[in-house]
Structure 1
Amino acid sequence: MSGEEEENAAELKIGDEFLKAKCLMNCEVSLILEHKYEQLQQRAEDPTNQVSQVFEKSLQYVKRFSRYKNPDALCVLGNLCPETVEEATSIVPSLKTKGRVHEDEAIEKMLNDLSLIKKFE
C-alpha cells in the first residue's frame, strides 16, 4: 500500500501483509490467543510483557463468539465434509453424548456453517 493511501478496513484498504493472509475461525483465533496469553502470563514479572487491553478484549471476543469448542472435531468435519448428523457422529464418535437432541441441532448447525463456507470458496 502506498505511503499516501491510508489503511481503512471498512473500505477494504488493508496493508500488503493482509493480502495473502488466511482466514481463521474464532475458535482457531481463541486457541492462538489463549496460548499467547499463557506465555505472557509466565513472563508477567517483566513489565514490558504485560497484556494490552486490546489483546484482552480480542481474547474475550473470540471466546464469547466462538461457536465451536472442540477444534479437533471441527477440523475432522471440515476435512471430511459429512452431510448428515449421523455421518458426522460416525466419523467423530466423541460428538455423541447422552441427551443428543440439542447436540444434534448443534451438529446440524455446524454442518450447515461448513457447507456455506465451502460454497464461498
Structure 2
Amino acid sequence: MSGEEEENAAELKIGDEFLKAKCLMNCEVSLILDHKLEQLQAMSDDPSNQVSQVFEKSLQYVKRFSRYKNPDAVRQVRELLSRHQLAEFELCVLGNLCPETVEEAIAMVPSIKGKFHQ
C-alpha cells in the first residue's frame, strides 16, 4: 500500500500482503494446534517434556474463542462462507464472530455490504 493511502478495514483497504494471505479462523488454528500437541506427546517418552508457554497459551486462547469444535463443522463453515466470494480476512472475521443476522455481519465487517442478500 502506498504511503498516501490509508488502511481501512471497513473498505477492505488492508494492504496487498493481507489480501493475498491465507487466514485461519480460531477453530481451524485450534484443530492444527491440537494435532501438533498430539504429535508432540506421542513422540515424547518423557512426561515432563512440556510444550512452550506460548504454545499452551495460544491453544487455550483459540479453544476459548472457537465456536466450532468438530472438524466437519469447521469445514462446513469455511465452505459456506467461501460461497460468497469474501476476502480471507472477511471470511475469518465472520467465522470467528458468528453474527446472527446479515445486518450484524455488515456492522462487524462493513466491506461485505452487497455480498449477502438481506
Q: Report the TM-score, using the length of structure 2 for normalisation.
A: 0.49
* Structure with greater Cα Rg: 1
Which protein has greater RCO, CA pairs closer than 8 Å, 6+ apart?
2
**Greater percentage in helix:** 1
